[in-house]
């Protein structure tokens, strides 16, 4: 059984610039392997250890939808590509967000609110950088 989020040994991904996604995935994989989780169970359980502001991003990735652990890891490494603010707030990230969002239906008001939040988070630093 995997530890609860309140357990001091539990991995946690906050999505802050200084947190490396590869380090989090490695730590989580070691924990999940130690608990005997299948690849499908790893996908189903990993979201517990991710900041709730990031859930919609993770759950929109095809690896998550298809319960494909290896694909999810590859997609996450692309999503959280750089530790630097410049890499995180790049034009490419903004293009990826708009392309990904164009393929997903926005059926609820929260979908639009999340998109608006993510778009602003990526675009405002670009505008300031000029």
Copy the structure tokens of residue 98.
Answer: 């708009």
Q: Where are the alpha helices (DSSP H) in the chain?
A: 21-34, 39-46, 55-60, 62-65, 69-79, 85-88, 91-103, 109-129
Q: Is the pLDDT of residue 83 over 50?
A: no
Same domain? 89 vs 72: no
Tell me whether residue 58 is exposed, middle or buried, using C-beta atoms within 10 angstroms of its C-beta: 0 to 12, 13 to 18, 19 or more: buried
Provide the pLDDT for residue 91. Answer: 76
- Count of domains for the chain: 2
Same domain? 97 vs 59: no
Which residues constitute the domain of residue 71?
21-79
Same domain? 32 vs 73: yes
Give 112-128 pLDDT, tens digit per residue: 988 888 888 788 777 76
């Amino acid at each position: 059984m995997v530890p609860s989020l309140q357990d001091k040994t539990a991995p946690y991904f906050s999505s802050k610039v200084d947190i490396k996604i590869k380090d989090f995935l490695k730590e989580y994989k070691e924990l999940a392997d130690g608990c005997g989780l299948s690849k499908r169970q790893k996908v189903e359980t990993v979201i517990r250890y991710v900041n709730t502001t990031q859930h919609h991003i993770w759950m929109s990735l095809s690896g998550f939808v298809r319960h494909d652990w290896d694909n999810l890891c590859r997609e996450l490494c692309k999503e959280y590509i750089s530790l630097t603010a410049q890499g995180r707030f790049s034009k490419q990230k903004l293009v990826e967000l708009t392309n990904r969002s164009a393929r997903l239906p926005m059926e609820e008001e929260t979908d639009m609110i999340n998109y608006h939040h993510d778009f602003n988070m990526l675009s405002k630093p670009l505008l300031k950088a000029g």
